[in-house]
Amino acid sequence: MAKSLAAKAPSQARRASPSPQPAGRIPKPKSKAPKRKDDYTSDGVDDNDVFLLPISDYQVTILVTIVSAIVRLYRIYQPTSVVFDEVHFGGFASKYIKGRFFMDVHPPLAKLMITLFGWIAGFNGDFDFKEIGKDYLEPGVPYVAMRLFPALCGIFLAPTMFLTLKTVGCRTTTAILGAGMIIFENGLLTQARLILLDAPLMIGTAFTALAFNSFTNQHELGPSKAFEPSWWFWLIMSGLGLGITFSIKWVGLFTIAWVGSLTLVQLWVLLGDHKHVSMRLFTKHFLARVFCLIVIPLGFYMAMFGIHFLCLTNPGEGDGFMSSEFQSTLNSKGMQDVAADVLMGSRVSIRHVNTQGGYLHSHPLMYPTGSKQQQITLYPHKDDNNVWLLENQTQPLDIHGNPINGSTAWNNLPEVPYITDGAVLRLYHTPTHRRLHSHDVRPPVTEAEWQNEVSAYGYEGFDGDANDYFRVEIVKKKSKRGVSQERVRTIDTKFRLVHIMTGCVLFSHKVKLPDWASEQQEVTCARGGTLPNSLWYIESNEHDTLGPDAEKVNYANPGFLGKFWELQVVMWKTNAGLVESHAWDSRPEAWPVLRRGINFWGKNHTQIYLIGNPLVWWSASVAVAIYVLFKGLAVLRWQRSCGDYSNTIFKRFDYEIGTSVLGWAFHYFPFYLMQRQLFLHHYFPALYFGIMAFCQVFDFVTARIAVVGLKDHPIINRATATALLALSGVVFYLYSPLAYGNPWTKAECNRVKLFSTWDWDCNNFLDSYDAYSSLPSVAAVPTPEQSQAPVIPQAAVPPPQVPIVNEEPAISGAPPPPGHSIVAREERVEYRDQHGNLLDEEQVKALEGKVEFQTRYETRTRLVDADGNEIPQSVEPEPAVAPPHPDVQGVDSETTKRSLVPDEPIPPPEKSVEGVKEAEEKIAKPASEGNEATKLASEGSEAAKPASEVNEPIKKEEVVA
């Protein structure tokens, strides 16, 4: 950059050469002492401080606000159900109120404000905003209050635009035009009427633009204004604005980049003014900006996270994203201190370091593929099935030289059986009496050559075989300094488990097993897996010889900064991971031309569809294009020494509109670099700058550039502005049913649907407005309960450990047993007490809050014949001997190679797939921001257990029939 600046030098020389200015063409700066040549005061700049406007302008501001409020608040209660991303942002409000930790890719400010509005209106957080179209009225959610916050932001956007335009020196008429274009922008309006983050983001950006333009104005007035109150005020406001914007969405970074680059330019010019600006003064300028534009925003941003952490004190569905240290700071997730030394015979839970998949886990279900032995997974919650007994390679010998058997064998040994680096272990799964085992069979999901399956193998009393041996290798770099690097200690020691026979290392990664393992995380044994994914540590540790006075350890508290930084990293990674394509996403190149919108909501023959006001939208794009053309030409002419820049108006046109177009560019082009899913509303900040640029061009052409000839006829400025304003109002009106969710008719819809890429569905609307009145009242229609699988009463409960017999394998198209087919999979929740008796709902209600529920997942297969009758199924007994062992019998030949089944039965004739599936496709979907969090939620919600006087736990069983 420095170089290109240097290259500009010749033109400056040209400009500086005293050429007599043509009289009457350039307005002379008013009432100022003759400026020195290299004074940084700019030519042709007036003091446009917002606080010095004439009274009439303030009246206009109020008027604009009122109009804006009317347009924004009209029927804000409509629709009465959840729309688009209200799913997320409404949901976050409930979680704030409940204090349950969640993870979202956006910083907290706007969500906190929405929560505040809801909380004041009496929202207690009991509504879950689960899906688009879920009714608000029945549960009495104060959704109007919650929508009011974005609406207020949206309302104030118009007066902000008005004042910003005044600040950059536009006529009042032009400023009104700008405000009008904001008011009548359908897209901005649609976003501002719903519980979404974009309206707050917009007001943040707009406020920053106002503040920084005001500051620039003060700065350009030269040394006389520097460090005056007004100068300071706007500089501080710019910083605050940046902080606010950045604390709403990370898009605020682009605003920071805009302010930052313009500030650098200002500083550069200051540096060059060596006649007026001493190094000392320059440093003062520099530090003032560092403080206001870096320290203030950063402090504000961190303060917001401080509040965020204060609000979210309980565990919630976001836990799964965070490290164990982080989680232990949440209420009731904090752990009792654990015995530090891990010994042979310890009962431990082993946790994976790099992923938040949880504990090494096994349960009495078999792999449907590979060895068909018992599954090993990672399970995120505390459970008896996570407990492993650490056994030595051989049982210890008693004084007679006979091996001591049983799990307490290591209790009374002469010397403490520490587990040192290189010790060989067997991991015994007490609940199922099997041992951790691996062999040369491909894992169920990751069928890579370098990965082996890990299973649990054996039976009660089985001595085990050589494939059960794992060697502990302490990774010193990752372990706490000191003893923890020499022998295994709880939490502090990170180690690898090397399988002795094959040399592979116990490994896990973010790959989920299919339904047959309740979507728990896959565990494999990898040769040459990455180190971070091969690390494990021990979290809970019990040993009979370790009494209450044994040395204890616990997680280190990460502190605010640690938590703050960890959350930033997780947010960044999650954000970058949102790459899956979405039915309503769009790429940046489609935005300036308004190619496509987003379907937000549809019900009762009305629809909300995010689409901009084409007139406003295209005007903004045209303004940008005009400036780019102008700039291209100007640069060429400048290089050919044409001396345009000696004309003050030319110079101001270039700089002022350039500033806005730079803002547009900074809020637009970075999206090209993003791989994540993008939506039309990501263009809104750029659009705001585009509209500003349009109004400035309009102002210059109609009122400032003498050559055009319109300058002397203010009537033209007013008339054109009025016409444009009226026109955008009309266009707004034409598309408004999509913004408000109002009734519309097919004919009118089709009339304004100019392009086929504007893909709202006109057939959805009725033929006439009258038809709407005959519909049942919108509010009264209950939400259709969709896709609720019928709960089939369970007669006799089969014994709990049924291996999956007829479960269809994930990939291979093996035909189901002849004559039967698995008709449907259902999920149901049963509650049982400690004796296995089924409890009915009333009993469960009564017990809720008093006792602890434990979850068990179980899969059972019911066979149903063609008429829908259940076929009684012979329950296969648990095999008493060891299940087939691939090491003995050779690798199972039925590994999931695709097999051709040419004469597979063809499904019964039906009318293609018209119906449920296809209807689903047309439904609006929330953007998947934070989707991942929701997914984990289903597993995490039980984690928030009430601390209570625990009786015998009641088992809650989920049965998949």
Site for other proteins in 192-221 (CB under 8 A): 220
The 3-class secondary structure across 609-630, one letter per residue, is EECCCHHHHHHHHHHHHHHHHH
Q: State CA 516 to chain mean position distance.
A: 28
Of the ranges 54-62, 341-349, 479-487, 898-906, which one interacts with other proteins (CB under 8 A)? 898-906
Supply φ then ψ for residue 921, to 5 degrees.
-60, -30
Of the ranges 8-16, 133-141, 322-330, 678-686, which one interacts with other proteins (CB under 8 A)? 8-16
Q: For other proteins, give the closer residue by CB, 386 or 508.
A: 508
Q: Which of residues 103-142 bind other proteins (CB under 8 A)?
A: none
- Rounded (5°) CA angle 768-727-199: 85
Selected binder of other proteins within 4, 763, 787, 788 (CB under 8 A) = 4
Preceding omega of 908 cis (within 30 degrees of 0): no
Three-state secondary-structure class, residue 263: helix
The verdict on 44 binding other proteins (CB under 8 A) reads yes
- Report, in Å, the least distance between residue 523 CB and other proteins: 13
Q: For other proteins, give the closer residue by CB, 346 or 859.
A: 859
d(CA 40, CA 265): 12
Q: For other proteins, give the closer residue by CB, 271 or 716.
A: 271
Tell me the C-alpha to C-alpha distance, in Å, between residue 230 and each of 53, 208, 237.
14, 16, 10
Selected binder of other proteins within 59, 124, 224, 261 (CB under 8 A) = 261
The verdict on 599 binding other proteins (CB under 8 A) reads no
The verdict on 155 binding other proteins (CB under 8 A) reads no
The verdict on 3 binding other proteins (CB under 8 A) reads yes
Instruction: Please name every residue paired with 51 in a beta bridge, in sequence order, or none if there are none.
Output: none
The verdict on 11 binding other proteins (CB under 8 A) reads yes
Task: Please say whether the beta carbons of 717 and 703 come within 8 A.
Answer: yes
Q: State CA 358 to chain mean position distance.
A: 22
Task: Please say whether the beta carbons of 421 and 486 come within 8 A.
Answer: yes
The verdict on 529 binding other proteins (CB under 8 A) reads yes
Q: Which of residues 776-815 bind other proteins (CB under 8 A)?
A: 810-813
The verdict on 674 binding other proteins (CB under 8 A) reads no
Of the ranges 95-103, 265-273, 496-504, 540-548, which one interacts with other proteins (CB under 8 A)? 265-273
Task: Please say whether the beta carbons of 513 and 445 come within 8 A.
Answer: yes
Q: For other proteins, give the closer residue by CB, 46 or 918.
A: 918
d(CA 380, CA 269): 57
Name every residue whose Cβ is closer than 8 Å to that of residue 552 and which is 6 or more positions away in sequence.
Answer: 337, 338, 339, 340
Selected binder of other proteins within 401, 898, 947, 949 (CB under 8 A) = 898
Task: Please say whether the beta carbons of 225 and 239 come within 8 A.
Answer: no
Place of tokens 């063809």: 906
Task: Please say whether the beta carbons of 766 and 772 come within 8 A.
Answer: yes
The verdict on 26 binding other proteins (CB under 8 A) reads no
Selected binder of other proteins within 509, 543, 563, 682 (CB under 8 A) = 509
Of the ranges 230-238, 262-270, 364-372, 744-752, which one interacts with other proteins (CB under 8 A)? 262-270
The verdict on 42 binding other proteins (CB under 8 A) reads yes
**For residues 772, 775, 776 and 780, what is the CA-based torsion angle, rounded to 10 degrees?**
-50
Selected binder of other proteins within 347, 487, 582, 753 (CB under 8 A) = 582
Q: For other proteins, give the closer residue by CB, 450 or 459.
A: 450
Q: For other proteins, give the closer residue by CB, 400 or 911.
A: 911
Selected binder of other proteins within 512, 631, 753, 832 (CB under 8 A) = 631
d(CA 229, CA 304): 28
- Amino acid letter at 48? N
Three-state secondary-structure class, residue 424: strand
d(CA 957, CA 961): 12
- Report, in Å, the least distance between residue 684 CB and other proteins: 21
Selected binder of other proteins within 551, 827, 904, 952 (CB under 8 A) = 904
Selected binder of other proteins within 415, 767, 867, 921 (CB under 8 A) = 921
The verdict on 583 binding other proteins (CB under 8 A) reads yes
Tell me the C-alpha to C-alpha distance, in Å, between residue 651 and each of 48, 313, 689.
18, 56, 20
The verdict on 581 binding other proteins (CB under 8 A) reads yes
Q: For other proteins, give the closer residue by CB, 448 or 871.
A: 448
Selected binder of other proteins within 26, 38, 552, 734 (CB under 8 A) = 38
Task: Please say whether the beta carbons of 356 and 333 come within 8 A.
Answer: no
Instruction: Give the closest residue to 542 by CA, choosing from 666, 389, 762, 314.
Output: 389
The verdict on 43 binding other proteins (CB under 8 A) reads yes
- Reported as type and span, the H/E element at residue 391 is strand 387-392
The verdict on 31 binding other proteins (CB under 8 A) reads no
Instruction: Give the closest residue to 928 by CA, choosing from 115, 248, 147, 105.
Output: 105
The verdict on 2 binding other proteins (CB under 8 A) reads yes
The verdict on 15 binding other proteins (CB under 8 A) reads yes
Dihedral sign for Cα 567, 572, 576, 580, please: positive
Selected binder of other proteins within 139, 528, 714, 817 (CB under 8 A) = 528
The verdict on 897 binding other proteins (CB under 8 A) reads no
Q: For other proteins, give the closer residue by CB, 36 or 433.
A: 36
Q: Which of residues 423-462 bind other proteins (CB under 8 A)?
A: 445-448, 450
Selected binder of other proteins within 269, 298, 307, 891 (CB under 8 A) = 269
Selected binder of other proteins within 274, 751, 845, 850 (CB under 8 A) = 274
The verdict on 922 binding other proteins (CB under 8 A) reads yes
- Report, in Å, the least distance between residue 896 CB and other proteins: 10
Dihedral sign for Cα 310, 314, 319, 323, please: positive
Q: Which two tokens stand for residue 790?
A: 């019928």
Selected binder of other proteins within 239, 658, 663, 737 (CB under 8 A) = 658
The verdict on 856 binding other proteins (CB under 8 A) reads no
- Report, in Å, the least distance between residue 27 CB and other proteins: 14
Count other Cβ atoms within 10 Å, centred on residue 225. Answer: 16
Of the ranges 485-493, 550-558, 864-872, 895-903, which one interacts with other proteins (CB under 8 A)? 895-903
Of the ranges 203-211, 644-652, 721-729, 826-834, which one interacts with other proteins (CB under 8 A)? 644-652
439-465 burial: b if 16+ Cβ within 10 Å, else e: bbbbbbbeeeeebbbbbbbbeeeeebb
Of the ranges 199-207, 314-322, 388-396, 632-640, which one interacts with other proteins (CB under 8 A)? 632-640
Half-sphere exposure of 672 (CA within 13 A, CB side): 6
The verdict on 530 binding other proteins (CB under 8 A) reads yes
Selected binder of other proteins within 271, 500, 752, 823 (CB under 8 A) = 271
The verdict on 705 binding other proteins (CB under 8 A) reads no
**For 135-257, where are the E strands, in sequence order?**
none
Selected binder of other proteins within 40, 207, 428, 617 (CB under 8 A) = 40
Tell me the C-alpha to C-alpha distance, in Å, between residue 537 and each of 462, 494, 954.
27, 5, 30
Q: For other proteins, give the closer residue by CB, 446 or 554.
A: 446
The verdict on 767 binding other proteins (CB under 8 A) reads no
Binders of other proteins: how many residues, by CB under 8 A? 90
Please give the biggest Cα pair distance in the chain. 118
Of the ranges 170-178, 302-310, 417-425, 636-644, which one interacts with other proteins (CB under 8 A)? 636-644
Site mask, other proteins, residues 215-254, x = CB under 8 A? -----x----------------------------------
Task: Please say whether the beta carbons of 255 and 685 come within 8 A.
Answer: yes
Instruction: Please name every residue paired with 916 in a beta bridge, in sequence order, or none if there are none.
Output: none
Task: Please say whether the beta carbons of 915 and 74 come within 8 A.
Answer: no
Q: Which two tokens stand for residue 408?
A: 């307490």
